[in-house]
Chains A and B, each alone.
Chain A
Amino acid sequence: MLFNSIHFFIFFIVVTPLYFLLPHKFRWMLLLGASCYFYMAFVPIYILILGFTIVIDYFAGILLENTEGKKRKYWLIASLVANIGVLAIFKYYNFLNTNLSELLNSFGYQNTIPNLSILLPIGLSFHTFQAMSYTIEVYRGNQKAERHFGIYSLYVMFYPQLVAGPIERPQNLIHQFHEKHYFDYERVLEGLKLMLWGLFMKLVIADRLSLYVNAVYNNAGQHSGKSLALATVFFAFQIYCDFAGYSNIAIGAARVMGFKLMTNFNRPYFSRSINEFWKRWHISLSTWFKDYLYITLGGNRVSIPRWYLNLFIVFVISGLWHGANWTFIIWGAVNGFYLVFAIVTEKPRKRFNQLIGLDRLPKLHNAIQILITFLLASFAWIFFRANNTQDAFMIVNKILLMGGSVYIDLDTILYSIAGIAFLVMIEFRREHDNHMGLPFKTNHWFKEQLAYTSLIILILMTGVFDGSQFIYFQF
């Protein structure tokens, strides 16, 4: 079920009042039933995969808590193998097998192992990572094993964040299912407003931008470097609005019922370095990799070359997490390279800024840093969006040459520019005021209502209602 569908709208207005009407002890049943229904609206049979990992991790958690010594490690490994195994089969098997075939072919051998005819379950990487964080935290002793099977299932399946995060940690979420949430008018309103802002980001900005981006990227060979450059900038905003829009709806829907999910985006395009960008973009995934992979590899408490390697490994794996395709791996590697390069060149860059006097002009310096970070992130997005690696390198080549004329689809370009301008204006104000809350927060009640009314009218007037999926669902 998509957040941007009427189906979800009806689902939400049925489930939410029922949640508050039910006695606390029955609420988990309602939420679990609703979450199952929500997930089964995509491909029903795939709920069995979720069920499999839930059962494994539930018992792994209890066994981890009840066992001492070396055995604990075995239970953790068993749980991780089960989770990663599911990912490997459904997400990476065909990719690995196809690459193996190509490798063997180049040596004159044939790979007789067939590919699997399976669809990738929606949001598999998200709920698998959330499940893994549970067993790791129980193993580390930061979280008690959850004995209530229904509550544990709900931790993995809670519908607002089931298919595209935020990837929660058990310490933040599980205890919330045990707590009683009362109907709080202000909190409900805040959640609804956040959902509305998320819907605006998705329908009005992301989906409008996608019309131009898809037209250009899906026929990259036919388009000029200028069109591809424009489409790349549009894609940077499209993917942000698509994913941050989803996160806002998820966080808002949970907040209406009294749950507090973690922040997933913090105006990433105002970052002044790639390092900062990754602290503001898809925060729940970045912190997951930091907590469970980067630190496990030794983080920065190792030799300098090893530190660089750690950073690079984390980003390549992060790329692979996004999709079983070389484009994602290259995207991850490019980001890893950015980070290592930034560390290596930190001192010379500082000296250069002093030399040209940029350090005495902090506002200009900030603006240049933001622009460069945006351009670097956008360059990396080329690999993320391109249909294959050949296309990606062709696009890079064409953009660098900047030939031809811009493909003009006047209506789409006008909608897109207006959408981006509106977003930047709102985010700039929030960045300036340094607040994480809602976009139209004022002390004047009537003004605020007018702002949200405008948002609703703009959604109705310019939103794309073709029920398009969220980009991150495929991961």
Chain B
Amino acid sequence: MKKRFFRIVIFISIIVTADVVIGEICKELYLNSNNLAIAKIRYTFDSSNQDILIYGSSRAEHHYVPDILTQQTGMSCYNCGIGGQGLAFSFIQIEEMLKRQKPKLIILDISPNILTDSKSDEKLNVLKPYFYRDTIIQHALTGVSEFEKLKYFSTVYPYNGSIISILTSFIYFKKDMYKGYLPLDGKLIPSSVKILNVVTQLKVPDRQIYYLNRIIKICKSTNVELKLVVSPIYLKNNTDDYILEQIRRIAASNKVDFIDFSTDAKFFKDAPFFKDNLHLNSEGATEFSNKLAAEIGQVISSGNTMARL
């Protein structure tokens, strides 16, 4: 009996020790990782200090060229967009950033496909290493489930699913980043675009609306100017207008700028500017950033905070 008890204690001790030691190694590797997304999250949480900060999904990451915005507005700029992430992630990024700096302008890219992406919550898993940093992150990761929190007793679990990304980042670099902006090469083949002909009017999920309202609220409470921008789309789905109208109404009721480039004549159905239906290539991003910068410059100089396109 004693021997068995002793063996159980040893086994548990081995597990706990291995978990702590390997967890700490993972943490160290994570903090030094060159993986673009990991490095960017780290930077946007702890180090960004620019005047203009851009948030959103891959459409933010690939569409906004900070150097162009800086050139035309005279303000420093960083692109905090992360591929696949929705408004919950942007809210957490903004919330963490506002704890230590006050930018002059926040641009939040609004993407109809991300707003209705049923899997956007799963993509929040990239925040696992920051679980103990903030209760908002804990809530976003575990919902209201106390069961889920149990997993975080493990030191290794926060790095679940990211170990290969961390390790491979020491071997090779994917691409260079230009102040958070990731240019896309290649041109869209128009025949490859398939448009959803969904007749139903798609409602933006309450959870997304909740986080949008929180972003608006936190920006207002800290006196940081917020602009909601819909960057160009090659061809919109039938549901997109209805989705964007819901966001436009929220913006109007909160007196927040809503700038919609989704039907801008310069980009709409103009394949050479696009990599695919939802993403501008580097040429399109340059063109769009110039146009946006001119728009922002006008607004700033005229003091008009309800500009529309």
Q: A185-B4, A453-B15 are in contact. Are A462 and B168 (CB under 8 A)?
A: no
Contact partners of A410 in chain B: CB under 8 A: 164, 168
Contact partners of B164 in chain A: CB under 8 A: 410-411, 414-415
Beta-carbon nearest neighbor of B122 in chain A: A466
Give chain A nearest CB distance to B37 CB in angstroms: 11
Contact partners of B15 in chain A: CB under 8 A: 453, 456-457
Instruction: Specify which of A6, A185, A453, A462 is in contact with B14 (CB 8 Å cutoff).
Output: A453
- Please tell me if A7 contacts chain B, counting CB pairs below 8 Å: yes
Contact partners of B18 in chain A: CB under 8 A: 453-454, 456-457
- Please tell me if A119 contacts chain B, counting CB pairs below 8 Å: no
Contact partners of B151 in chain A: CB under 8 A: 6, 460, 465
Contact at B156–A6, with CB atoms within 8 Å? no
Report the bound CA distance from A414 to B19 in whole Å. 23
Contact partners of B168 in chain A: CB under 8 A: 410-411, 414
Contact partners of B147 in chain A: CB under 8 A: 5-7, 10
Contact partners of A456 in chain B: CB under 8 A: 15, 18-19
- Please tell me if B89 contacts chain A, counting CB pairs below 8 Å: no
Contact at B160–A460, with CB atoms within 8 Å? yes
Contact at B22–A457, with CB atoms within 8 Å? yes
Q: A6-B147, A449-B10 are in contact. Are A460 and B122 (CB under 8 A)?
A: no
Contact at B156–A464, with CB atoms within 8 Å? no
Which secondary structure dominates chain A's binding surface? helix
Instruction: Specify which of B150, B160, B165 is in contact with A411 (CB 8 Å cutoff).
Output: B165
> Please, what's the 1-or-0 string for A1-14, where 1 marks a CB less than 8 Å from any CB in chain B?
00001110010000
Give chain B nearest CB distance to A461 CB in angstroms: 5
Contact partners of A460 in chain B: CB under 8 A: 19, 151, 154, 156-157, 160
Give chain A nearest CB distance to B166 CB in angstroms: 10
- Please tell me if A302 contacts chain B, counting CB pairs below 8 Å: no
Report the bound CA distance from A398 to B117 in whole Å. 30
Contact partners of B154 in chain A: CB under 8 A: 460
Give chain B nearest CB distance to A342 CB in angstroms: 41
Contact at A461–B22, with CB atoms within 8 Å? yes
Given contacts A6-B147, A410-B168, A452-B11, 11 further A-B contacts (CB under 8 A): A5-B147, A6-B151, A410-B164, A414-B164, A449-B10, A449-B14, A453-B14, A453-B18, A456-B15, A457-B15, A463-B160
Contact partners of A77 in chain B: CB under 8 A: none
- Give the number of A-B contacts (CB < 8 Å): 57
Give chain A nearest CB distance to B38 CB in angstroms: 12
- The A421-475 residues at the B interface (CB cut-off 8 A) are 445, 449-450, 452-454, 456-457, 460-466
- The B124-157 residues at the A interface (CB cut-off 8 A) are 145, 147-148, 150-151, 154, 156-157
Contact at B161–A464, with CB atoms within 8 Å? yes
Q: What are 5 of the A-B contact pairs (CB < 8 Å)?
A: A6-B147, A454-B18, A456-B18, A456-B19, A462-B163
Report the bound CA distance from A457 to B26 in whole Å. 12
Give chain A nearest CB distance to B233 CB in angstroms: 19
Q: A6-B151, A453-B15, A466-B122 are in contact. Are A461 and B7 (CB under 8 A)?
A: no
- Please tell me if B159 contacts chain A, counting CB pairs below 8 Å: yes
Report the bound CA distance from A445 to B160 in whole Å. 28
Instruction: Specify which of A445, A457, A462, A466 is in contact with B19 (CB 8 Å cutoff).
Output: A457
6 pairs of A and B residues whose beta carbons are closest in the complex = A6-B147, A460-B156, A411-B164, A460-B157, A453-B14, A449-B11
Q: A6-B151, A10-B147, A453-B18 are in contact. Are A461 and B159 (CB under 8 A)?
A: yes
Beta-carbon nearest neighbor of B147 in chain A: A6
Report the bound CA distance from A445 to B151 in whole Å. 28
> Please, what's the 1-or-0 string for A210-242, where 1 marks a CB less than 8 Å from any CB in chain B?
000000000000000000000000000000000
Contact partners of B150 in chain A: CB under 8 A: 6
Beta-carbon nearest neighbor of B128 in chain A: A465
Instruction: Specify which of B4, B14, B122, B160 is in contact with A461 (CB 8 Å cutoff).
Output: B160
